[in-house]
Structures are given as C-alpha cells and as structure tokens.
C-alpha cells in the first residue's frame, strides 16, 4: 500500500516547500490540530544521511507550521480522539480535584479504554500494520539481543539489504517519523524524552551484554548496581530488560498499540513511546526467576526478590505508585539516571 501524505488542506499551500538540497520536490509536514493545539512533525531525513537541515530552514519550517494554525484540516492525521470533548481550563479547586480523580482512575485502570484516549486514524492502520510486521522481521533477522541496541539507521540499512525484511517505504518512514516526533503528552504520557532525534543511538563501547539474559547494561552505574543486587539475591534475581535503543522501543510500543486496538493512549500507560524510554539512559528491569510475565505485573510485589530489594533500599523506582507521569505503577523498573 502506498500512503498518500495528504494530511493538510490544499488551502495551506505554504507547507509545501521546494527543497533542492534534498533532491525532493517537497516536504510534507503533519500538523496536529486538537483543542487549539498545533504540533509540527519533522520530515524523515535518515535516507539522506549526508544532508543536514540548517537552523534557518528549520526555523522556517516551524514558522510556516505556526502560520497554518488557523486553517481547517481534513481528518487524515495520525491520531484522533475517540470522543470529541470541549477543552475548558480548570478554573476552580473542584475542577482540579475532578481532573486528579479522573487521572488516577485512568492509571488504576491503565489497561482499559477511556473516553478521551487517542487512537490511530483508521486510514493509517494499513501502514501501521506493515511497519510493525517489518520491525518484527528485522528483530528476527538480527536476534532479540542484538535488536535491543540496534540503531534506526542501521536497522534501515539491514532491512534494505535483506529481502526477507524488505526496505521501509517512504510512507512507512513517514509514519515512524510522525510517531517518534509526536509529543507524548498528546497520548497522556507526561515523562521527559531522553532521545531527541530518531537517529540517536546506543554507543556499543559503553554497554556490555549480560550472560544468559539477552540484555545489555551500561558499563557504569547500571552494571555496578546490577552486580550489587545480584550478589545479594543470587540466582533468584533475573534481568528482564536492559538497554533499549530507538528501534527496540518502536517495536515494543507498536506491539502494545496493536494489542490495544490502535489505542495510543492505552499503550503509553504501559510502555513509553519511542524516544521517551529511560532504558536508553541506563534504567533496567528486574524480576523473580520463574515468574515469567508476572514480573511485569503488581504480582511481582509479592515475590521474594521484591521483598529483598525493598528491605535493602534498592527500590528507587522510575514510576512509583500514583506517579504523575501518566504511567502505571512499575515496581520492577530500577531507576538509574538522575535526569528525571
């Protein structure tokens, strides 16, 4: 399927930019316009690695995007609201309390659909499915362990050179670009974004593969802390997830979106969108040997590993109970980076 990137009204001609440096006829910019909020999504530049966007041109693109804010747009955008709601600012204590109550209710029921969740637009579901299938084939090609630290650029190159995976089309790259550069707050994810660019990558010299786990850890504080915990708890402790690059987070997040029937908000309550995961900065997940998938549920808090971690003061969590980041409680997620 070839997706036509006709996200903007034909009235908004200023967003079609002749770009001789890139040898393309125009850049299609996607504008999100919900509740008087317009967001500009950058064009994919990975297929042209030698070209750099000048600061002047970058500012020009932003200015043009802002200039179209007052225009009307067709429905073909990445996401849509599952229910139209009026956006009125909370002006009283009662409103704020209701907002907080609503937020906590969503987090407590993180795996359920809610009225104002953001969904993938129906017209983009085919492209979404193709991208997800290609990412899965790419992981199968390189192996689960290697895929954890595979960069976006290297992933595209491998896909292009191996027919079993196949090259990502312009439509697919455009879709991934939009997903990456979208503001996570649109989905309800309030955390910071450690990876600013889709081409940001893990330095292989700075990580080490942990035997029998298939996961990597940074050689500094992450490895030091893991070894401390492992020494205390022994074989009952398992490393369930370590360093993750952009490609890995893409696959995890889109897998969750698929199982959530295209619900981006629901997915983001369990998995950080691409670029937002602190697994790229050193955080890691631990679990109880033999628990399997239960290590990623609150049942992990009943395990011996959790009890010991709590007793020894190792539970510095990225997403504690009742956090305000739009993420469910993750008692297994060990926080490393101080960049909160």
Q: What CATH architecture does domain 122-334 belong to?
A: 2-Layer Sandwich (3.30)
Mean pLDDT by 10 residues, the chain (340 residues): 30 36 32 32 35 36 32 39 49 66 78 90 96 98 97 98 98 96 91 95 96 94 93 94 97 97 95 94 94 93 93 83 85 68
Residues contacting residue 181 through CB under 8 Å, at least 6 positions apart: 41, 42, 198
**In the chain, where the domains are located:** 13-67, 122-334
Up-side HSE of residue 112: CA atoms within 13 Å toward CB?
8
Segments in the chain forming alpha helices (H): 55-67, 93-108, 125-142, 144-147, 152-161, 170-181, 221-233, 246-259, 264-268, 304-312
As a whole number of angstroms, the longest Cα–Cα distance in the chain is 65
Q: Which residues pair with 37 in a beta bridge?
A: 34
Check if the beta carbon of residue 319 is closer than 8 Å to that of residue 328. Answer: yes
pLDDT at 316: 80
Nearest to 340 by CA among 105, 327, 110, 306: 327
Round the CA-based radius of gyration of the chain to a whole number and report it: 21
> What is the predicted pLDDT for the residue at 336?
74
Beta bridge partners of 30: 41
Residue 93 has a pLDDT of 63
**pLDDT given at position 79:** 54
């Amino acid at each position: 399927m070839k997706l036509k990137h006709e996200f903007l009204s034909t009235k908004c001609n200023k967003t079609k930019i002749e770009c001789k440096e890139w040898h393309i006829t125009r850049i299609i910019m996607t504008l999100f316009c919900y509740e008087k909020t317009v967001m500009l999504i950058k064009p994919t530049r990975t297929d042209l690695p030698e070209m750099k966007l000048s600061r002047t041109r970058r500012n020009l693109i932003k200015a043009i995007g802002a200039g179209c804010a007052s225009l009307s747009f067709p429905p073909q955008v990445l996401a849509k609201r599952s229910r139209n709601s009026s956006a009125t600012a909370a002006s009283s204590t009662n409103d704020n309390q209701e907002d907080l109550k609503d937020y906590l209710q969503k987090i407590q029921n993180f795996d359920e659909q809610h009225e104002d969740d953001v969904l993938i637009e129906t017209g983009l579901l085919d492209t979404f499915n193709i991208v997800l299938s290609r990412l899965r084939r790419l992981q199968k090609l390189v192996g689960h362990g290697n895929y954890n630290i595979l960069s976006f650029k290297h992933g595209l190159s491998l896909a292009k050179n191996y027919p079993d995976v196949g090259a990502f089309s312009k439509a697919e790259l455009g879709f991934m670009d939009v997903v990456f550069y979208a503001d996570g707050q649109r989905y309800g994810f309030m955390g910071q974004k450690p990876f600013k660019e889709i081409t940001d990558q893990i330095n292989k010299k700075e990580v080490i593969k942990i035997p029998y786990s298939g996961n990597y850890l940074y050689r500094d504080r992450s490895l030091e802390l893991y070894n401390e915990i492992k020494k205390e708890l022994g074989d009952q402790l398992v490393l369930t997830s370590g360093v993750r690059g952009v490609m890995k987070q893409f696959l995890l997040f889109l897998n969750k979106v698929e199982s959530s029937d295209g619900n981006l908000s629901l997915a983001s309550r369990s998995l950080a969108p691409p670029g937002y995961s602190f697994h790229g900065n050193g955080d890691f997940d631990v679990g109880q040997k033999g628990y399997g998938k239960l290590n990623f549920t609150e049942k992990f808090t009943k395990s011996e590993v959790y009890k010991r971690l709590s007793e020894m003061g190792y539970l510095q969590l990225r997403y504690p109970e009742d956090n305000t980041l739009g993420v469910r409680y993750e008692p297994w997620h060990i926080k490393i980076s101080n960049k909160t």
